[in-house]
Structure 1
């Protein structure tokens, strides 16, 4: 009898201890749902194998983020469930990145879904994630620009234990594209035939961080290596300071890229130097930037991700061809200044020249893009926090007919609504 009481008492103690350990895991957990409606319409100009890439789809993204168990070492588990549903598409209009389609028949899927799990361990201000991870770094920026976000499979370490320093390191071996449900080997992006885009790699390694030098200045350095394809060094800084009645932001970015190991994708030899200056005065923000590529090749980046260069946000091209020089002007306006909070607008013009594409027309080619954007977030009432975003681009170049980037007029419309479950 005494023995059974001891066992029962020990069981109660163990259960109580477990509940204490799990308290942070449950109490600090969060769950958020994003409902996204996306219309993508890219109409190609002049003679082209495909007249348009045009699709309409509905997405659902559910993110669960746990807290950490109590103790010196905390454990947690995150989950992400995603669903995409076709509203309109056809075999002659695929390729928008919204929906997967058959490589043989080009028939788009009616729907696709996936679930990603992320284990995590935390000690002090250092966190290790493994499983499904997302990185938003200059050398690997997971694309959030379509119906469902793109993710990686691997291990990701983040630390803020050193004051003013944010450290990032990791190893990734697979990528899940934004219009896919399975993990694939890593490749280099190769539009316009820049590299051998079929070359695959089993490993992407990175290390670097951001250092807050002062309240105005942040310094950045990262190293990344796509095994047997390329390696890259990134150096940059962002400086924000008051100049007169407004604020001046100076954004400098430098990439140095070379081939790595067996160089499966071919030669890689590129330096990308860029500076973006923006001045904000009240509701107005005016920016001007210049980017120059030198070396024998284009700038490499992971296929399926977004290159984090100063032309980020352009819709039809990234302006990263061999020898390219580009300049841009950008104007942003917040309509809160005239009594319409939640409404914002943007105008941008980007022009690139000196492009070296011998197989697509020569060594002094040009491209340009004009962008217009309006976004609005409902501020109150039944539809509070519903976000509308409309983007239009006009893209032109003088490349040969085999180019990946072709003259087009593009329209994208997003309606997003995010809300917390708890």
Structure 2
């Protein structure tokens, strides 16, 4: 998987579930209380999505709070512990008539709630370097099942989650998930969704892992089943070649295969989606070129945890802020640029830009009864994303972060989406109480 996805996975496991980046051995346990942690985070999010062509705009502003307690494990051959979470979302501005559309705030049927909260818990046990969790605050993060943390509070799942690092360089996991809580919901008993099809299931299973062959070469394999919707398989190869102390090349290849399953609630599915990215890093600068293809008469679809929401189970290179360039038979190219200002004496300041163009979207071979039958023939579009971020490096406000993201999407020919502009401002402050 790509460096970006590896980082997200590490953060998801470490901050949301309390597990360290590499699973600690039960033999190293200091005790239930001794190894426990209590973390608090505030997140302020302003979301302004200006949609063109008469489509409804989406504007919301809110404040989120998150409290995560992760216990250590009891000592002994088999250790036991608990993880507890509490979330709240407060409305600062409902968007003057546009509330409830962005997924930032919690809907109440007539708009959005002024304040909403939820809580979750899981029990866990550990043997050697293998952990098993059961509860309703689980946040696996992998190519086939990745609840997002892109609003005020994260999405979470209910079920069993097994992770294992018994062999050096090999990280394995499996999950059986039976319910979800979306990032704009307080209900932990919702179904899982196929985001683009708009159909739902109450069970998702996955298994897979990542193997670091060397420090510079890794491979990943995953499989999942969304009951009565699809079976999905994923593979990745990621290789970094060092040219010098401050120069390197990175090559990242991702491929998915999705086939309909069971009662075929999303209709017939037979899609192969792949992407290739080549990046050159020199000092503070990274330049990347990407190519992505969708081979199939349906789009590449992935996890939703509520009607109309999209999560992160798409590791294709051109999946972007507004669109995924995943239409049936679509071809897309992208140019990326990243700048880390630490090399220029401003650590914590980063800049990102990308431009992606997609063509050849072909919905003409779609079964008219398919829930995906909203694509035209020969659709094309492009997206430009800009982002600037800063993380405070020291002092009382250490780790306070600011990120401003702007995206522009334009339709050349098509009906599956609309042209739009979006601005997001995210201010976060994580604090480890103990």
Q: Could you tell me how far apart the structure 2 residues matched to 1:399 and 1:262 are?
A: 34
**Paired residue for 1:268?**
269
**Distance (Å, rounded) in 2 between the aligned partners of 1:212 and 1:264:** 37
Q: Which residue of 1 aligns with 2:46?
A: 39
Please name the residue that 1:138 is paired with.
143
**Which residue does the alignment assign to 2:242?**
242
Asked whether the equivalents of residues 142 and 313 of structure 2 are also in contact (C-alpha less than 8 Å), the reply is no
Q: Name 1:220's counterpart in structure 2.
A: 220
Q: Which ranges of structure 2 fall in alignment gaps of 5 or more residues?
A: 1-28, 306-310, 365-372
**Contact 1:204–1:227 (CA under 8 A) maintained in structure 2:** yes
Distance 1:328 1:400, change over 3 A: closer
CA contact (8 A) 1:248 1:277 kept: yes
CA contact (8 A) 1:289 1:310 kept: no
TM-score (norm 2): 0.86
Shift of 1:27: 0.3
Counterpart in the other structure of 1:4: none
1:392 to 399, 402, 406: 406
Secondary structure at 2:33's aligned position in 1?
Answer: helix
Separation of aligned partners in 2, 1:174 and 1:63: 20
Deviates more, 1:350-359 or 1:371-380: 350-359
1:380, distance to aligned residue in structure 2 (A): 2.7
Q: 1:307 aligns with which of 313, 321, 338?
A: 313
**Does 1:84 find its partner at 2:89?**
yes
What is the CA-CA distance between 1:286 and the residue it aligns to? 0.7
Residue ranges of structure 1 left out of the alignment (5+ in a row): 1-21
Shift of 1:146: 1.0
Supply the RMSD in Å over aligned alpha carbons. 1.6
When the two structures are superposed, what TM-score results if normalisation uses the length of structure 1? 0.89
1:122 matched residue in structure 2: 126
Out of 355, 378, 393, the residue aligned to residue 349 of structure 1 is 355
Cα distance 1:344–1:321, how it changes in 2: closer, same or farther (>3 A)? same
Alpha-carbon distance in structure 1 between the residues aligned to 2:107 and 2:324: 24
Larger mean Cα displacement after TM superposition, 94-103 or 71-80: 94-103
Larger radius of gyration: 1
Deviates more, 1:92-101 or 1:139-148: 92-101
Q: Shift of the alpha carbon at 1:363?
A: 1.6
Indicate if the aligned counterparts of 2:332 and 2:359 stay in contact, CA closer than 8 A.
yes
Query: In 2 relative to 1, CA 266–200 (structure 1 residues): closer, same or farther, beyond 3 Å?
Result: same
- Determine the structure 1 residue equivalent to 2:8: none
- Cα distance between partner residues in 1 of 2:183 and 2:72: 27
Of 116-125 and 181-190, more deviation after overlay is shown by 181-190
Residues 317-372 of structure 1: per-residue CA shift (max 9 Å, x gap):
11111111111110000111221111000010011111123465632111111000
- Tell me if structure 1 keeps the 8 A contact 2:291–2:317: no
Provide the residue aligned with 1:326 in structure 2.
332
Does the 8 A contact of 1:360 with 1:399 survive in 2?
no
- C-alpha distance in 2 between matches for 1:186 and 1:340: 42
Secondary structure (helix, strand or coil) at the match of 1:140 reads coil
Alignment of 1:3-402 (within 5 A): 24-48=31-55, 50=56, 52-89=57-94, 90-103=96-109, 105=110, 107-131=111-135, 132-182=137-187, 183-190=189-196, 195=197, 197=198, 199-244=199-244, 246-304=247-305, 305-311=311-317, 314-358=320-364, 360=374, 362-398=376-412, 400=414
Partners of 1:302 and 1:383 in 2: how far apart?
Answer: 35
Q: Deviations over 1:111-169 (max 9, x none)?
A: 11111101101000000011121111001111011111011111000001123211111
Contact 1:323 1:354 in 2 (8 A): yes
Q: Please report how far the alpha carbon of residue 23 of structure 1 lies from its aligned counterpart in structure 2 after TM superposition.
A: 6.0
Once residues 227 and 330 of structure 2 are traced to their aligned partners in structure 1, the CA distance between those partners, rounded to angstroms, is 26
Q: How far apart in 2 are the matches of 1:166 and 1:23?
A: 23
Q: Per the alignment, do residues 23 and 331 of structure 1 end up closer, same or farther by CA in structure 2, a change over 3 Å counting?
A: closer
Deviation at 1:181, TM superposition (A): 0.7
Does the residue aligned with 2:194 lie in a helix, a strand or coil? coil
**Deviation per residue, 1:59-109 (Å, 9 max, x gap):** 001111110000000000001110000000144343111112234x3x111
Structure 1 segments, 4+ long, off by >4 Å, are 358-361
- Separation in structure 2 between the aligned mates of residue 313 and residue 417 of structure 1, nearest angstrom: 27
**Inter-partner Cα distance in structure 2 for 1:313 and 1:345:** 18
For residues 312 and 366 of structure 1, do their structure 2 counterparts lie closer, same or farther at Cα, with a shift above 3 Å needed? closer
Displacement of 1:243 after TM fit? 2.6
Contact 1:307–1:318 (Cα < 8 Å) also in 2: no
Query: In the alignment, what sits opposite 1:16?
Result: none
Say if 1:272 and 1:299, in contact at 8 Å, map to a contact too. Answer: yes
